[in-house]
Structure 1
Amino acid sequence: MENHSSQSPSYHQNSNSVTPFLQPQPFPISEGEESDWSFLQLLSVLQRRALVIAGVTITLTTVVFVSLILNRQLPVYEGNFRLLVEPVNDDTKVVDIVKETNISKSGLDYESQIQVLKSPELMGKIVKQLQAKYPDISYNTLIKNITISRFAETKIIEVRYQSQDPNQIQVVLDQIANNYLDYSREKRQTLLQQGIQFVERQLPFIQNRVDQIQKELQTFRQKYDFVDPATQSEQVVNQITNLSEQRQIVDGKIAEVRANLSFLQEQNGKLAVLNNAILYQQLLGQVRQLDVQIATESTRLQDNNPAIQTLKQKRKSLLPLLKNEEQRFLGTKIAEVTTQLQTLEVQSQELAKVERKIELQRKQWPILARQYTELQRKLQVATESLNRFLSTRENLQIQKSQTELGWQLLEAPSKPKVPISDSSIKRYLIPGLIASIALGIGVALLQEKLDNTYHSVEILKGKVNLPLLGNIPFEKQVESIQDRISRRRFSIARILNPILKGVPGFAHQVHSNYSAKFLEALRVLYTNVQFLSSERPIASIIISSAMPGDGKSTIAFHLAQVATGMGQRVLLVDADLRQPKIHTLSGLNNLSGLSNLISTNLPTSEVIRQLPSMNQLSVITSGPIPSDPTKLLSSEKMKQLMIDFHNAFDLVIYDSPPILGLADTSLLAPYTDGILLVVKLDKTDSSMMQETLDHLRFSQMNALGMVSNGYKSNVNSY
């Protein structure tokens, strides 16, 4: 069995072997030509500069509107009133039930009614009454300024009248409203008494039928404990399915435990288990050491020599102890597996019993559900019939009470106080609004041209000819203060590690408080880095950036955690001897580190430490900040250390200072597999990025690719 312990690998075993690093890749590390904006890029710019566009648009629109108000023409006023021309209760349903009542269907042809209201016969009387006060009013002028229409899809007719004299509007509308109400009283006739009598004769029989079915349904529910058969049946099926799945899982575990037990009883299994027995390995090591000593002494001494006899006596005394420890350790392991197997078998039997019991209940449900559905259908039909008759009786009674009522005036005419918008505003306001929006967009595009940062992954890929190995999304928890994160991690780990130490994979779940998209993006980045080389895996990388604050240390720290969680032996080295961050992110002290390791004879094992929350990850902090970091990083001691790190771990990650203006990264790069550049969206300056790419090209350093940081996307993860 493979044992991932927290112990650091030995450096002395492979210190003399030098593993070759990857040769520089032929990637064109320069900025690409800036292409014309696509439609999607234009939409992205408009969304990003929405506040600028809105501010310019509102300001210019306000100026245009104020200008139009100051130069407007004479105001035009408008008044209106509304009439309810049909009752709110529709009596058309009565005819469907009471066909013998000879009541014709009510329903108004609104288009025909409006033409009648505007006819010369009806309007002529109104014009004669108005001419006594306003001689200039004629039928033609009245029809020109009046608007009669149906209000939406309601039973309301709305009448509007426009004039420059608000007093005239009120007088005209009052006269029209009074004449329309008189017209409706003379024409309206209804007769609904026969329908009411028929409905009242049928109601007692329908009510008795509903009561009888309700009693039958109540008895059925009480007898069989039915609430909702469809839901209950689905719950039973789900229970059976869940029990079956649980039993299959348990059976799988049983097979796995049996396989483990068989393996333990074989010679290979015993040897594999004994590899983890500390005391056994110690005794075995002593026996082997004695064998070596006996063989060595036998070359120069005879077998009867007291020294050889003493060594053989010691070896003979250790053999029973070795045998007893082997039997004790194997017996303990076999007993544990046997107990686990018995527990799983009992659990499988209990699940099978419960599954059979629920299956018997499920077979009874179809018959009961059919009876229940039939009772519900009968009750629904009877209830709908009863409700229909009750509603019809209520409608008929309301209509009967309104037999002598005509149209109702819902909104009386009033004198308008505020003029409607004049023609000048309508003519120029919309073009002014369009021009304001266009100018706002122009200002936004100008701002975008003057902005030198990368705003999206597409822009970054289009301008920088480096492989984009990952897009790390924006994570609020990463933005919080790092010392608070480290304290929280340390306290949680200190409490939970003793409790959950035996839980498989617990060390890999400490960083699960981050979002799934953030962690998955780091896994994708790690996988893409490993795919860069087809000959052998990437074993050492430098994570750097063009500018400070791009998030290189954060990505290096979390990438190391992800690689460790995927089974790699990872060493994270804080090679930023100017502004180190790894000790803050990891919650470790920085009393000793890389600077001490280079400048003194301090053993490497005393500098390598493990995280409190993930003891499989090895970390070397920067140590005290030296006066001349470049001198330390360019030393032969540093070169040898990097070779030792490379040989002792599966992956070594160096967090180095920004490339531009500093020689630190250039000194480390030749002894690694390459550099991974971190670019932070909306922050990294493209001109500084260009200088960094030029420096990489002239220095012939191996650039593996780049990773975007702070990527914001609304797409849901899978």
Structure 2
Amino acid sequence: MRSSPTELILSFTQIGAMLRARKKLILNITFAALVVAGVVSVLLPKTYIASANIYIDYRINDPINGRQFNPMQDESYLETQFDVIRSVQVAERVIEALRLQDTDECRKLIAKYGERRGLRLLAESITEHVEVAPHKNSRVVEVQYSSNSPQMAKDITNAIVKSYIDLSLEMMNAPARARKDQYNAQLETMSRQIDDIQKKLTSYQQEYQIVDADERTDLDSRQMNALSARLMDVQLQRVEAQAKKQSLDGLMKRGNLNSDLPEIAGVGNVSGVKAALIAVDAQLANAQTTLGVNHPRYIAIMQERQALLDKLKRESSTAFDSLQSVEGRLAQQEKVIEAELANYQKKTFENKKHRDVISSYQRQLDSVQKIYNAAIQKFDELLMTSNVAISDATVMQWAEVPEKHAKPLLRNNLIFGLIGGFLFGLCVAFLLELLQRRVRCMEDLEREFDVPVMAHIGFEEAVSVAR
């Protein structure tokens, strides 16, 4: 039968006629595909899937500063945790925990590729069978592992969960541990600095025998103030004594006796001698009137009077010399006080120098001590944080031994085989019909020869015979 290129499009009537003509072929192919799917489902090794649920919380992600996560980082953080769960590092921990390196499969890989690469390949093969999926609108994550052994699927799934939690704890506490090591080194350095400064301060105080520089300076200052006041008083007295001396010298130049000077007349011994001399003069005047100048009594009184005059002269001279020496004594005393004051000033300057040195040491000590105390307080927090293991992941459900295999599924495979076989049968039937066109219905004649069909007799039989 000829076919025109312009008439390759088939109508539904032609398609139906073709399917009826090839229905046995289509059914045979469909049945064969169904049988193949069933046989393959029976022969394929069974795969078991174990699953565990983990709740991931990330309210605090920084064990040192305790920073809060931004809600916009929710999806990013979960994706990061998925990558960690599927990481080779977790798989290597699983191998170590379950001692998978002692299995025959691992021994073969080690023998072929070496220990390091063999264990790496085994870890990568474990990660290939790990599936991680979050529950919808939830932070609960499901971890699945597929294996040919149900017990192995359970053990590896639980080992993955535990290894992930341990690894996340190490990753969380790693900054705190690193900071703790840094603080340890810094604390040791600052402790040595404190000891060195304290030793220098103690040695300096011992060398100059200083117990309390401030107290020593205050004492010297008080003594200097007392000496300054005393010096001022002595200077005033010296000026006054100098004025008195000049006055006495003037009186003496004018011919006054020592005993007649006002400053000397008031002296205790001089005034007493004068009083006694006045009394003797009265007795002498009375004796001269009554007894006469040659009388022994009169002569005795005269001798007594002369003795008093001599005594008055001596006492007056002594008092005069004493008044004359006051200025010199005060000047000498002023020099002594000035020397003592200069000595105390020198000591004060030295004490200030010592105090400045001690203050410098003390400031250094206080500064380092302050930093050391702050570091100690922070170190305590770091120590607590690095030792307290609080994971962001909580196991909601551990994996159990799967009772049924997950793959292959016989019913699903049969359905897919039925659908696939049927579609393949249709494709084969259409291909055969296109390669070898035959008249299957009246429409084939009408479209092929482009003439109307007036009548047909036994068309179905003729079509059957034609087949």
The answer, yes or no, to whether TM exceeds 0.5 is: no
Aligning the two structures, in what range does the TM-score lie when normalised by the shorter sequence?
Answer: 0.3 to 0.5
Pair member with larger Rg? 2
Q: Which has the higher helix share?
A: 2
TM-score (norm 1): 0.25
